[in-house]
């Protein structure tokens, strides 16, 4: 096939997959209304599959689609990176006009992505998943969820709010609001404490493009490293024929900078992303991608990780995981580290990929990516912040969307009976207890049929000495599921006077008597 057409196909593929990513992202919140799986890209991600199954010590059937991706790497090399990965496409599109090729950056940096992969696998073997926050799909999902999409919403709604000042525009604006803005943004009004740090991480990755094209993909991406390892045995590999006139165009064009003039414009199949830029632009059509014998190992490169490098990485992973064991959370769960529903039933931190899907779909946006509330080891894992949004009683969105089962597939009815925390009242700040004020918000709002919050009546006197009856709320521990509806709606200013905290331990262990 003509290389120019193939390049066009590659460009079309990138646009298509990015569009698919965005469609899945938008429709993820339409639970049950779409046949598409919103976690499709995660299912195709072998890094997620490998680390989740290793750390969770389990086989997750839904993640076995990733084998398709690995099989593709055996045939086409890192075609995922060049044709599919939406993060890679963003890096292609958001790059400086005057591309820098990174010749001044040592080729040894390419080793980093392989070692990053080794570290993640070793850590996963030890049951730690902290480093998986560097998976490219999760970076893009997380940034889109917490920063880009909400900021876009704020921008659009800000403009809308301005236009709504003009009464005559209302009929037109109503149509746009109902048919465009609501379907796109739903009723979700996002706020995230982690939005800015997450956006900064993404910005740094984009900014590195100014140091070298696709800097992230070349040097850092652990998924790129993983696919690179498999691509070293790829069947289709780039070749340069004798027709080459030594013009050097391909070496200048290559987005991963793997074409080496010194080696007769040869490239490393573990670095090539099959973008076809070189072949399409070669003035003498000297470049092709013929089939080689399967499983034949590519030529060794100076930056291929040596056995010693890998061992050091494993040692580094062991040291890192050990260091994280020193964090206080390993002894005492913080009182405000409330996990999504059902998470108490699983080995949550081992299975959770920090992928952000649950955060994306949470209709109240009470689920937040944590920063350091649960220690560095739990960074970007979801936690419920009831003051920002309750766990909606009739919603099981996070349960349905979790790709690894860290939030287990329990039914809505089971969810409604699974405690994730326990509410407690600060009587000094409660309007009823502390200030003799009539307020029944928490009792009213409690979604449980039996009401986990009940009230006792008490006679009190006002300033004039008249007696009146107020109702004082109290929590029934046996019923409360910790959804946080009371905390969210509590009219106390700032922090709520009723707060959900980590579940009390149910067993009392007496040792050494």
Partner 1 sequence: MSKKKEINRREFLRKVSMAGAGLYLAGCSRQSPVMLPTPIASAKTATAAPGGPQTEIQNSAETTPAYGDVYLSVVRGEDPAAMTMRAIAAIGGIEQFVKNGADVIVKPNICTDYYPYEYGATTNPQVVAAIVQLCLGAGAKRVRVMDNPFSGTALSAYKRSGIEEAVIAAGGEMEVMNNNKFRKNEIPDGLDIREWIFYQDILDADTVINVPIAKQHGTTRLTLGCKNLMGTILNRGQIHANIHQRIADLTSRVRPALTVVDGIRTLMQGGPTGGNLDDVKMSNTIIASADVVAADSQAATLFDLTGTDIGYIPAAAAMRLGTMDLNAIKIEEFSL
287-288 and 367-369 beta bridge pairing: unpaired
Contacts of 98 (CB under 8 A, 6+ apart): none
Instruction: State CA 172 to chain mean position distance.
Output: 36
The encoded tokens of residue 458 equal 């008490």
Q: Binding to partner 1 by residue 109, rule CB under 8 A? A: no
Task: Find the binding residues for partner 1 in span 45-74 (CB under 8 A).
Answer: none
From 133, 136, 131, select the one nearest 317 (Cα to Cα): 131
239-240 and 422-425 beta bridge pairing: unpaired
Residue 387 CB, nearest approach to partner 1 (Å): 15
Q: Binding to partner 1 by residue 434, rule CB under 8 A? A: no
Q: What is the torsional sign of CA 337, 343, 347, 351?
A: negative
Q: Binding to partner 1 by residue 447, rule CB under 8 A? A: yes
End-to-end CA distance of the chain: 80
DSSP annotation string for 451-501? -SEEEEEEEEE-TTS-EEEEEEEEE-TTT-----HHHHH--SSSS-SEEEE
Q: Binding to partner 1 by residue 197, rule CB under 8 A? A: no
Contacting residue, 445, 474, 476, 479, with partner 1 by CB under 8 A: 445
Q: Binding to partner 1 by residue 476, rule CB under 8 A? A: no
Q: Binding to partner 1 by residue 466, rule CB under 8 A? A: no
Residue 393 CB, nearest approach to partner 1 (Å): 5
- Tell me, by CB under 8 A, how many residues bind partner 1: 37
Q: Binding to partner 1 by residue 250, rule CB under 8 A? A: no
DSSP annotation string for 1-26? --HHHHHHHHHHHHHHHHHHHHHHHH
Q: Binding to partner 1 by residue 438, rule CB under 8 A? A: yes
Planar angle of CA 20, 26, 31, nearest 5 degrees: 110
Q: Binding to partner 1 by residue 13, rule CB under 8 A? A: no
Q: Binding to partner 1 by residue 441, rule CB under 8 A? A: yes
Place of tokens 């670095």: 271
As a whole number of angstroms, the distance between CA 130 and CA 124 comes to: 9
Contacting residue, 48, 273, 485, 503, with partner 1 by CB under 8 A: 485
Contacting residue, 244, 266, 440, 479, with partner 1 by CB under 8 A: 440
List 473's β-bridge partners, or say none. 455
Stretch that binds partner 1, among 96-104, 185-193, 287-295, 319-327 (CB under 8 A): 185-193
Binding track over 131-160 against partner 1, x by CB under 8 A: -----------------------------x
Q: Binding to partner 1 by residue 390, rule CB under 8 A? A: yes
467-475 and 453-461 beta bridge pairing: antiparallel
Residue 33 CB, nearest approach to partner 1 (Å): 10
Residues that bind partner 1 (CB under 8 A): 160-161, 164, 167, 170, 173-174, 177-178, 182, 186-188, 363, 390, 392-395, 438-441, 443-451, 455, 471, 485, 489, 491
């Amino acid at each position: 096939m003509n290389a120019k057409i193939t390049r066009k196909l590659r460009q079309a593929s990138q646009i298509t997959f990015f569009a698919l990513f965005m469609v899945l992202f938008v429709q993820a919140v339409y639970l049950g209304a779409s046949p598409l799986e919103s976690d499709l890209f995660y299912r195709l991600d072998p890094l997620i599959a490998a680390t989740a199954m290793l750390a969770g010590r389990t086989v997750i059937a839904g993640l076995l689609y990733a084998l398709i991706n690995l099989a593709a790497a055996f045939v086409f090399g890192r075609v995922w990176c060049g044709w599919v990965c939406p993060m890679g496409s963003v890096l292609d599109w958001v790059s400086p006009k005057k591309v820098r090729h990174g010749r001044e950056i040592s080729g040894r940096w390419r080793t980093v992505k392989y070692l990053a992969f080794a570290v993640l696998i070793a850590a996963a073997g030890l049951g730690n998943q902290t480093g998986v926050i560097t998976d490219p799909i999760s970076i893009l999902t997380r940034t889109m969820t917490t920063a880009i999409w909400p900021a876009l919403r704020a921008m659009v709604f800000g403009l809308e709010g301005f236009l709504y000042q003009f009464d005559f525009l209302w009929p037109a604006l109503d149509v746009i609001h109902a048919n465009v803005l609501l379907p796109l943004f739903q009723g979700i009004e996002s706020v995230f404490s982690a939005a800015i740090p997450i956006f900064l991480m993404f910005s740094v990755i984009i900014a590195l493009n100014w140091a070298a094209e696709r800097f992230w993909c070349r040097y850092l991406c652990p998924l790129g490293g993983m696919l690179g390892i498999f691509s070293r045995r790829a069947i289709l590999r780039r070749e340069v024929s004798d027709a080459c006139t030594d013009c050097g165009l391909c070496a200048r064009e290559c987005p991963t900078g793997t074409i080496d003039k010194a080696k007769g414009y040869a490239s490393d199949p573990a670095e090539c992303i099959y973008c076809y830029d070189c072949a399409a632009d070669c003035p003498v059509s000297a470049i092709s991608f013929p089939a080689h014998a399967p499983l034949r190992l590519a030529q060794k490169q100076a930056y291929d990780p040596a056995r010693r490098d890998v061992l050091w990485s494993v040692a580094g992973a062991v040291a890192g995981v050990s260091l994280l064991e020193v964090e206080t959370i390993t002894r005492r769960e913080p009182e405000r580290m409330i996990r999504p529903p059902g998470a108490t039933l699983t080995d949550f931190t081992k299975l959770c990929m920090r992928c952000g899907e649950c955060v994306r779909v949470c209709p109240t946006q009470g689920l937040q990516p944590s920063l350091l509330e649960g220690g560095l080891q739990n960074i970007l894992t979801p936690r419920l912040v009831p003051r920002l949004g309750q766990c909606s009683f009739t919603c099981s969105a996070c349960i349905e969307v979790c790709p690894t089962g860290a939030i287990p597939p329990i039914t809505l009815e089971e969810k409604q009976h699974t405690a994730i925390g326990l509410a407690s009242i600060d009587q000094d700040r409660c309007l009823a207890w502390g200030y003799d004020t009539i307020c029944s918000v928490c009792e009213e709002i409690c979604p449980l049929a039996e009401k986990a919050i009940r009230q006792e009546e008490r006679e009190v006197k006002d300033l004039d000495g008249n007696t009146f009856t107020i109702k004082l709320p109290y929590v029934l521990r046996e019923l409360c599921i910790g959804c946080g509806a009371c905390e969210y709606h509590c009219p106390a200013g700032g922090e709520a006077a009723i707060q959900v905290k980590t579940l009390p331990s149910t067993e009392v262990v007496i040792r050494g008597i």
